[in-house]
Amino acid sequence: MKTVLAKVDEQAIRSAGEIIRQGGLVAFPTETVYGLGANAFDEKAVLSIFAAKGRPADNPLIVHIADKSGFEGIVKEIPEKAQKLIDRFMPGPLTVILKKTDKVSLHVTAGLDTVAVRMPSNKDALALIRAAGVPIAAPSANRSGLPSPTRAQHVFSDMDGRIEMILDGGACTFGLESTVVDMSGDIPVLLRPGAVTLEQLKETVGEVILSGGVLSGLKEGEVARSPGLKHKHYAPKSARVVLLRGSDKAIAEHINRFAADNSHKVGAIVKNCVTSLDKNVKICYIGNEDLQYAQSVFDALRALDDLNVDIIFCQAVEEGGIGLAIMNRLLRSAGFALLDV
Ligand code: AMP
Ligand code: MG
């Protein structure tokens, strides 16, 4: 299959909408990461998403809508607290899990009786959903297990020849996938942290439970409330990832000690304030703010992997605000390897 890579314009959006209607796959930009979309009501098209990504069949997809009226027919009801979240954070980087109707195929929800719904704020994503005229089921547009794509080029390197089209809308604003909150029970459960923070959720709806698996591996026998939590995720193809927590100076010293013996090719993802790193270290500086870290962490993991480093040291951050989401992705990428230095 020839994959068309097109800069977003009216014509490209029109063709992309047509491809979705015909049962094809289109990767598109959102404010979080690039998504890989299919008509949510077309079972065959939905199944082809799993094939293109190599995604385990038990990991459900998020249904993307362009207007709040899109919830009708997809979810059984919107409880009061869920409505509060929708009013405050949609459109935006929030996904809510609600009880599904029969109209939503079990292939989309991986057999669950709930469905994940999100209304993105990215104007190109909204234009595509409107052009398609149907809700779009979409996971992140990476090969399963690899870091999520935040640029069209990342999608191209994972998906060339596997999907019909990639819409290039530039780099994603937040760079981390949406916050996922299960609103189908009495107490909201944060399944995946994102740019809508735990603090903001609590401010809006009161008590919110942080799901197991967010900052630690699932314990033996613990059931993943979000199937995505149990799968290998965000890991580079060959490099091992290790998180370092400590002062800027201690982090630099640890990396330099490791680089000094010359037996490993070493990469580092650190804030700009980590200075005096050895010249042999391949460094990705990610600014000094957590928002910048979020924006560029997946790009940095991919870039260092492309340089064939053996190990990537990543600077840990505080777990407040968007820091919780950054730590969740880094820890999973590192298989929960975290060193205090
Ligand atoms: P992705 O779009 O690749 O970021 O993956 C979607 C995420 O949403 C995965 O972590 C899924 O496990 C999660 N998800 C989607 N639908 C549900 C659902 N019905 N219940 C729990 N988690 C869900
Ligand atoms: Mg994903």
Q: What is the pLDDT of residues 119-158, one digit of tens each?
A: 999 999 999 999 999 999 999 999 999 999 999 999 999 9
pLDDT value of position 7: 98
pLDDT at 228: 66
Around ligand 1, the residues with Cβ closer than 6 Å are 59-60, 62, 97, 109, 112, 114-116, 139-140, 177, 180, 191-192, 226-228
Q: Do the beta carbons of residue 35 and residue 28 sit within 8 Å?
A: yes
Cα distance between residue 140 and residue 37, in whole Å: 9
Provide CB contacts within 8 A for 165, sequence distance 6+.
Answer: 3, 4, 5, 6, 12, 15, 16, 19, 24, 25, 26, 27
In angstroms, how far is CA 228 from the centroid of its own chain? 11
pLDDT for 238: 87
pLDDT tens digits, 163-216: 999 999 999 999 999 999 999 999 999 999 999 999 999 999 999 999 988 988
Whole-number pLDDT of residue 236: 87
Beta bridge partners of 138: 62
What would the pLDDT profile of 228-279 be if each residue is shown by its tens digit? 666 668 888 889 999 999 999 999 999 999 999 888 899 999 999 999 999 9
Task: Give the residue, out of 30, 94, 105, 191, with the most ligand 1 atoms within 8 A of its beta carbon, to mutate for a pocket test.
Answer: 191
Q: What is the pLDDT of residue 231?
A: 66
pLDDT at position 134 is 97
pLDDT tens across 34-88, in order? 999 999 999 999 999 999 999 999 999 999 999 999 999 999 999 999 999 999 9
- Indicate the top mutation candidate among 100, 192, 332 to test ligand 1's pocket, ranked by most ligand atoms within 8 A of CB: 192
